[in-house]
Structure 1
């Protein structure tokens, strides 16, 4: 493996045209730089330099190695820059997209931890109902966005320029008013037992929920109230008042501000996956740092 210091010496000589001028640029004495170049020639197993009365030029082997050396040194500079930003992240901004449930219940402590670690980064948060957050990442409107998908459903294509990283998978559960007959049993409730039940339907035309709504309809659940916006707080309030039952994510049921009865369903194929959309290798150091915090926080939430 070539020593990066010696590769930098070779590039400096190629650009300066002489060992003396390259030594001045690098802060070496000419003999010290010549010694580094001699060691590099031993590593390469070929003559890299030809000295003449006007200075020094590279041999064909030297030109090949110098070209590669520039790429290596550029990559190392980029790595140093990114590591420095990750450790300090002084300045800059981070634009985060989120949907309501996670934005209220899971994101705030993560952003607080990020702010403590990187107080100089400007944070902005915007609300995007899935799948709009993924589109915002692909368009460059935000640096990353929290989004969700549901099962059963047809998987949606991820737009070019965005990558989805799953963070948390949770079941969908039945919620009822307190004391409802369906909430009192033990074990999982077969979804077929929802036949004839008045259903608070959560945005049946909303893309992430289409598959779930279709499965509930095939099971015989009868829409009683349709919430045109996918706001789970409203759904839970209507359920709590006795207007019907609903199928919502576990997190929603656990954190509802209105009293509910909760029952798991059979089969356990009704699920929601929460993911973070980002730009992959093009993500900023701030976005990479926040993604690491999200993985830790959502892992604890799953536990």
Structure 2
């Protein structure tokens, strides 16, 4: 049985008249495409191409196989669209809510895989600062949302009965400082008590999601020096980078900072952020269920208590 990928390579060469141009169209290097074509020739037991100084042309055997290949590929494409319609993934719209960190670092790979498999579904992405995305899924404004909670938490938030909040990723909070700061010189975990007396870039202390973390830092003796009123981690890291104080942020945020910072894990590692996906369980649309499966596959193994 012929490999459809190799049949597509043969058709592309027939249409472009060149292995190089066909490789560019299909996203291969020319040597890689040549290898696929060589394997197809072995499968066919016949020479399919004649290379010349201006490109390549098909032999009589190649023309015959390319004509059949077009029919096979057309049928496979038709089957893909019919199956997509059968599962509700041809056309329609998938509405997704996210907060900035997840929207930049977690969502794009999953959405890219979704788009490749289901190009006819219209994608809509909107920013919802947690916990707003939970309510938006519950009332039908969104099909799916990414949200987060911090530990320690200031109270337990009620989850609407219509939705499921499923953890995807748990990350520790780390201390960030300007490069070369004495607090981040060591490789071991930094005791939280070492923050006592340090000027703290306080991260939205009135924000419900950060209130428990801010209380833990205050108990350790960290002294607020700069208060960032809105939960913008890029600003927090930039201020820390400029030497205005130290901050405690999620590990992913520190790793992706656009300004140079030094980091160090904290002891004990009890300050955490859990990133979750919010969905409507068995009532989720086929498109939402498909993206949910992609997110589980990418990050679900990282979710721990």
Q: TM-score, normalised by structure 1?
A: 0.70
User: In 1, Cα distance between the equivalents of 2:86 and 2:203?
Assistant: 41
User: In 1, Cα distance between the equivalents of 2:173 and 2:158?
Assistant: 23
After superposition, residues 257-276 of structure 1 pair within 5 angstroms as 257-276=258-277
User: In 2, Cα distance between the equivalents of 1:285 and 1:116?
Assistant: 16
SS of alignment partner, residue 290 of structure 2: helix
**8 Å contact kept, 1:85–1:285:** no
What is the aligned partner in structure 1 of residue 96 from structure 2? 96
Distance 1:299 1:161, change over 3 A: closer
SS of alignment partner, residue 259 of structure 2: coil
Unaligned stretches of 5+ residues in structure 2:
1-82
Q: Which runs of 4+ in 1 moved over 6 A?
A: none
1:117 aligns with 2:117: yes
What is the aligned partner in structure 1 of residue 210 from structure 2? 209
Q: Return the offset for 1:254.
A: 0.6
Q: CA RMSD in A?
A: 1.8
Larger Cα-atom Rg: 1
What is the aligned partner in structure 1 of residue 241 from structure 2? 240
After superposition, residues 121-270 of structure 1 pair within 5 angstroms as 121-153=121-153, 154-270=155-271
**8 Å contact kept, 1:86–1:289:** no
Distance 1:85 1:224, change over 3 A: farther
Unaligned stretches of 5+ residues in structure 1:
1-82
SS of alignment partner, residue 210 of structure 2: helix
Distance 1:194 1:289, change over 3 A: same
Aligned length: 221
Q: TM-score, normalised by structure 2?
A: 0.70
Q: Return the offset for 1:186.
A: 2.8
Q: Return the offset for 1:185.
A: 1.7
Q: Return the offset for 1:160.
A: 2.7
User: In 2, Cα distance between the equivalents of 1:103 and 1:174?
Assistant: 23
Q: Return the offset for 1:296.
A: 1.8
Q: Return the offset for 1:87.
A: 5.2
User: In 1, Cα distance between the equivalents of 2:187 and 2:84?
Assistant: 55
